[in-house]
Structure 1
């Protein structure tokens, strides 16, 4: 549980950086969620508490723009983490430039570019890139709320 909460803090950020525990607790309360303190959020992130109520998990999930199943289902967690990684990569200026320049190219040309990128990743010893499959709208939900993965 702590690893998942920590991962959300590290990857889903405001325009000013990582959210504080007070920001998370305040926004959850302001949105009509359950009473939750900054200290309790800290304890969840650091493994000092590992059995939160479903209402608290749903509120955290909503805050970070992920489905509540993120905390229970490893397959959902994996898919959401892939999406968050992809969105985080798009924050990189070089990646954005490549994506913008590729807009409008044919499927065949895009496939060639993907093949070239995968080859360069292999040459640099990097793991295969995300396949871009749609595993839900968690990352886009977070982006709509002003969150940006790191």
Structure 2
């Protein structure tokens, strides 16, 4: 996706963000959400969602934007931030991962380690991921 930024055409930003969310923010074991599925998971009509996706709704209600953000588990400011969308979503994913008590504990306990020991911890985690058949490049 070409990075949509706030300050440009509002309808274009909304369309770009919504399209990106539909295409990329879904469980890895399934296809992207359909507009019908988003409508069923929110209080938003399919016709409103279609208008947002096509760029015909340049001024959706704030509650609509909040519901869509909640559905896709993204921060509400995704619609208006000056940050590139990829950074906003990466920040959210990191925040969600850190909520896991085990991950938070690892991060907090490694805070004062030397760079060499941090690299050692990273290697142990990479080995554990490999032993479980998980993606080695997960961030």
Q: In which range does the TM-score fall when normalised by the shorter chain?
A: 0.5 to 0.7
- Checking the alignment, whether the CA contact within 8 Å between 1:69 and 1:77 is kept in structure 2 is no
Identify unmatched segments of 5+ residues in structure 1.
30-35, 87-104, 113-128, 133-150
Q: Is 1:16 aligned to residue 30 of structure 2? A: yes
Rg larger in 1 or in 2? 2
Runs of 4+ in 1 over 4 A off after TM superposition: 83-86
For residue 80 of structure 1, report the CA deviation from its aligned partner.
2.2
* TM-score, structure 2 as length reference: 0.54
Q: Report which structure shows greater RCO (CA 8 Å, sep ≥6).
A: 1
For residue 47 of structure 1, report the CA deviation from its aligned partner.
1.0
Output the CA distance in 2 between the equivalents of 1:10 and 1:84. 17
- CA RMSD of superposed structures (Å): 3.0
* TM-score, structure 1 as length reference: 0.50
For residue 7 of structure 1, report the CA deviation from its aligned partner.
0.7
- Checking the alignment, whether the CA contact within 8 Å between 1:2 and 1:44 is kept in structure 2 is yes
Identify unmatched segments of 5+ residues in structure 2.
1-13, 95-115, 124-136
Which residue of structure 2 aligns with residue 25 of structure 1? 39
Q: For 2:119, which of 91, 108, 118 is the aligned residue?
A: 108
Output the CA distance in 2 between the equivalents of 1:72 and 1:25. 22
